Amino acid sequence: PAFGPGSGRGPGGFGGGPGGAMMHGKAEKAKNFKGSLRRLLSYLKPHRMRLFFVFLLAVASTTFTISAPKISGQVMNKVKDSFMARMLLDQMTKLQKTMRSGMSAQAAAAAEPSPNAPMDPALGAALARFAAIPDLSSISDPATQAEALRDFMIFLEGLPPQAAALMPAGPSSPAFAGMKFTKEQIQDALRAVEETGGKVDYPGIGMILGFLLCFYLLSALFTFGSGWLMSTVAQRTVYDLRKAVDRKLGRLPLAYFDSHSHGEILSRVSNDIDSISGTLQQSVTQAITSVISLVGYVIMMLTISWGLTLIVLATMPLYIIATMALAKNSQKHFKAQQKELGAISGHIEEMYSGHAVVKAFGREKRALAEFDEINQKLSSASWKANFISGILHPAMNTISNLGYVLISVVGGMWMTRAWLNLGDITAFIQYSRQFTMPIIQTANIANIIQSTIACAERVFEVLDEAEEEEDSVGASMPAQAQGEVSINSLAFSYNPAEPLIRDLSLDVRKGHTIAIVGPTGAGKTTLVNLLMRFYEIQAGSISIDGADIRTMPRSGLRALFGMVLQDTWLFNGSIRENIAYGRTEASEEEIVQAAKAAHADHFIRTLPSGYDTLLFEDASNISQGQRQLLTIARAILANPRILILDEATSSVDTRTEFLIQKAMAALMQDRTSFVIAHRLSTIRDAELILVMDHGAIVEQGNHRELLEKKGFYAELYNAQFTGALVESA
């Protein structure tokens, strides 16, 4: 899970640079990382070509983005060179004019030598050299201008003190002061003059800016292309994975669903697969771009200055130390936060779902006190966790600013020595500021991939579950199903150490109603599950119309049965669609007749849209009894040869139950029925009542016969009607 609540894994969920860094907690680890990763990659094999283009587009996009700062630095260098050349030429031209006016008088004096003031030989040589330098203002060719400027600057470097003292503007003059240049500065200045001639190269700058714009557009286009292709790959891969899981769930035995909670199965099918989808769609391309960016930034910084690059790399241990220290200290608080968050959610759900009971027992104050206690713990843990994780932002900024200051100082010193250009410094600063972003992104992605493989492993566990046994070769249905059921020496147990059904034998004739009664855990529902092959028989046999059910295809066998359970199941759709679930081709008249037979027609017509009324996913917009009537109508419409009623009338009132029983009695003529009941008054008309206890039939007969035996059934029956009176007496 992400480090702290709200640190999403969607777009923008990864840290960007020191200022945008986000920490992640310890990733959930897979049991077999390599094997699960290899298996997940096998689902990507059909999309190899698309993934290849995703890689190429991601590389191209990142390369263009990495190149942009250095290209923009070239623009700045051109502007700086033209400005420096223009300023230098203007200053040198002005100085040259000043010196010419001063030295012209010296030249006139030299033409009329005086015995009292003879001409200094050094001064004469300086005047001769100065006279040989062309006038800078009269030169238009940049190369010639640079050559004349070089001669003039060399002349200034070797100018004797006598000449400076005789100039109208003496050594203290601003025009003359500061005219000492290093060799590197002279070379850089002459290069700028030679390349620009003191003029801004607008066509060249425009061309560079055009290239830069094209780079950004191409980068955006390639990013869009890689994202589009990766989305296609991710969705098709997840589609294949979901389809495989859906098919697998259809082939799993009932034992799997009995041994796994619905929430766990739904989490694997939905949440875990969604996590895989998000990782494939976002993290794959980001992993590619992060690695390429990291390598590219280092290469580009090295091309600018290896010395400054070492300064940037020297700050990396500080990032690692800060991240590890903060993560270690905040992890325990986030763990406590999640624990208290679950506790407060459970408390609120309990109190609101059972608010009537809370009020009835006067426990409101106690409930509020418990809430305040949990809420205080949650608030404390959340504050500590978020405060410590929030320190990462300024900590990373501080480290980044430290590197920025060092780079600026050292880079500025090197620029004054003409070892680096201004554009190179600005480009390097951009690279150094962005350098930490791919490192943090890569760490986050590694964390996410670890958790994603764990999610994939849970999905693969579903795909690896043992399936129902294949239908036997040559499996077929009886030519004409009559509904006669024969059970011979049946044995079954969920746990080999604790047998449930032992040596059970029974013959059920066509059209008979068989009631199965007994205490909880006697094996009543298990017997029904074995009849429909939800569980496989371990010993003995079950035959329908003389054919062993193991020789029948499961789909054909289950089509013989209609089932109405105590726990109703209705899907999100109209009432008409729910009734016709077992026979989608049924006509409107048949649907209405089934509803009338189940005594559901009246309440259906009182609803605003009648048979077109839409039911919610849990059918909460109708009562429990009405839901039960609809499931009975659904079973009636399916018109099965064998009907199974598992406490089917437990949620309806006594009068409706009596009417349903009459309708069932008329409907089930010449059809076999198995009725599981705890309310024994509902099975008095059954031809045969099986009394089960600990997996065995302890009594059998009709209602009257069993009461006359005064055995186990009589005790159950009398307990329901006389137990309360006996206790009160």
Which tokens is 212 given?
């830069």
Strands 672-676 and 642-646, bridge-based pairing: parallel
pLDDT value for 297: 87
pLDDT value for 665: 65
Three-class DSSP category at 498:
strand
Owner of token pair 């997840």: 238
Which H or E run contains 92? helix 48-111
Average pLDDT over residues 593-609: 86
pLDDT value for 117: 53
pLDDT value for 107: 55
Q: Which range among 45-49, 283-287, 319-323, 540-544 shows the weakest confidence by mean pLDDT?
A: 319-323
Which tokens is 412 given?
């500025």
User: Up-side HSE of residue 360: CA atoms within 13 Å toward CB?
Assistant: 4
414-450 pLDDT, tens digit per residue, is 877 767 777 788 888 888 878 777 877 777 787 788 7
Nearest to 429 by CA among 300, 540, 316, 602: 300
Nearest to 582 by CA among 630, 510, 515, 652: 630
> Residue 140: pLDDT above 60?
yes
CA 302 to chain centre: 36
- CA-to-CA distance for 603 and 589, rounded, in angstroms? 17
pLDDT value for 110: 53
Which tokens is 689 given?
């009542």
- What is the chain's mean pLDDT, rounded? 77
Q: Which range among 9-13, 234-238, 571-575, 626-630 shows the weakest confidence by mean pLDDT?
A: 9-13
pLDDT value for 162: 60
pLDDT tier at 102, thresholds 50, 70, 90: low
Neighbours of 176 (CB within 10 A): 17
Which tokens is 204 given?
């060249």
φ and ψ at 543, to 5 degrees? -125, 145
Q: How far is CA 43 from CA 223, 317, 355, 717, in A?
A: 24, 38, 49, 59
Q: What percent of the chain has pLDDT over 90?
A: 2
Q: Are 679 and 720 in contact (CB under 8 A)?
A: yes
Owner of token pair 């090197």: 414
- CA-to-CA distance for 164 and 170, rounded, in angstroms? 6
Task: Transcribe 232-255 into DSSP letters.
Answer: HHHHHHHHHHHHHHHHHHHHS-HH
Nearest to 320 by CA among 9, 23, 27: 23
Average pLDDT over residues 401-416: 80
pLDDT value for 7: 34
Question: Hey, which of 235-244, 383-392, 637-646 has the most confident mean pLDDT?
Answer: 235-244
Neighbours of 134 (CB within 10 A): 15
> Residue 196: pLDDT above 80?
no
Neighbours of 155 (CB within 10 A): 17
Neighbours of 570 (CB within 10 A): 21
In one-letter notation, the amino acid at residue 586 is: A
Which tokens is 123 given?
């001064």
Nearest to 644 by CA among 566, 538, 556: 566
Supply the pTM of this predicted model.
0.66
> Residue 572: pLDDT above 80?
yes
Residue 217 vs residue 157, higher pLDDT: 217
Q: Which range among 243-257, 519-533, 639-653 shows the weakest confidence by mean pLDDT?
A: 639-653
Per residue, the 3-state secondary structure of 534-558, as one string, reads CCCCCEEEEEECCEEHHHCCHHHHH
pLDDT value for 17: 34
335-378 pLDDT, tens digit per residue, is 777 778 778 887 887 888 778 788 888 888 888 998 899 899 88
> Residue 384: pLDDT above 50?
yes
Average pLDDT over residues 133-153: 77
Phi-psi domain of 647 (left: phi exceeds 0; alpha: psi -120 through 50; beta: other): left
Per residue, the 3-state secondary structure of 194-212, as one string, reads HHHCCCCCHHHHHHHHHHH
Q: Are 326 and 449 in contact (CB under 8 A)?
A: no
Q: Exposed/middle/buried for 53, CB within 10 Å: 0-12, 13-18, 19+?
A: middle
270-282 pLDDT, tens digit per residue, is 888 888 888 888 8
pLDDT tier at 221, thresholds 50, 70, 90: very high
Owner of token pair 């694997």: 268
Phi-psi domain of 519 (left: phi exceeds 0; alpha: psi -120 through 50; beta: other): beta
Residue 134 vs residue 6, higher pLDDT: 134
pLDDT value for 518: 79
- CA-to-CA distance for 120 and 163, rounded, in angstroms? 10
Q: Which range among 287-291, 538-542, 648-652 shows the weakest confidence by mean pLDDT?
A: 648-652
Owner of token pair 């009461």: 707
pLDDT value for 104: 62
pLDDT value for 470: 78
Task: Transcribe 420-433 into DSSP letters.
Answer: S-HHHHHHHHHHHH
- CA-to-CA distance for 562 and 328, rounded, in angstroms? 59
Q: How far is CA 367 from CA 165, 343, 344, 359, in A?
A: 99, 13, 11, 10
pLDDT value for 663: 64
Q: Which range among 15-24, 300-309, 460-469, 590-599 shows the weakest confidence by mean pLDDT?
A: 15-24
Owner of token pair 């590619």: 288
pLDDT tier at 390, thresholds 50, 70, 90: confident
470-497 pLDDT, tens digit per residue, is 777 767 777 777 788 888 888 888 877 7
> Residue 184: pLDDT above 70?
no
- CA-to-CA distance for 11 and 382, rounded, in angstroms? 24
CA 339 to chain centre: 22
Owner of token pair 């554009």: 423
| Tally of helices (H runs) and strands (E runs) in the chain | 27, 12
Average pLDDT over residues 396-418: 78
Q: Which range among 13-22, 337-346, 470-479, 678-687 shows the weakest confidence by mean pLDDT?
A: 13-22
pLDDT value for 165: 53
Q: What percent of the chain has pLDDT over 70?
A: 82
Phi-psi domain of 481 (left: phi exceeds 0; alpha: psi -120 through 50; beta: other): beta
545-563 pLDDT, tens digit per residue, is 888 888 888 888 888 888 8
> Residue 610: pLDDT above 80?
yes
26-72 pLDDT, tens digit per residue, is 455 667 888 888 888 888 888 889 989 989 998 888 888 888 888 88
pLDDT value for 138: 76
Which tokens is 522 given?
């006697």
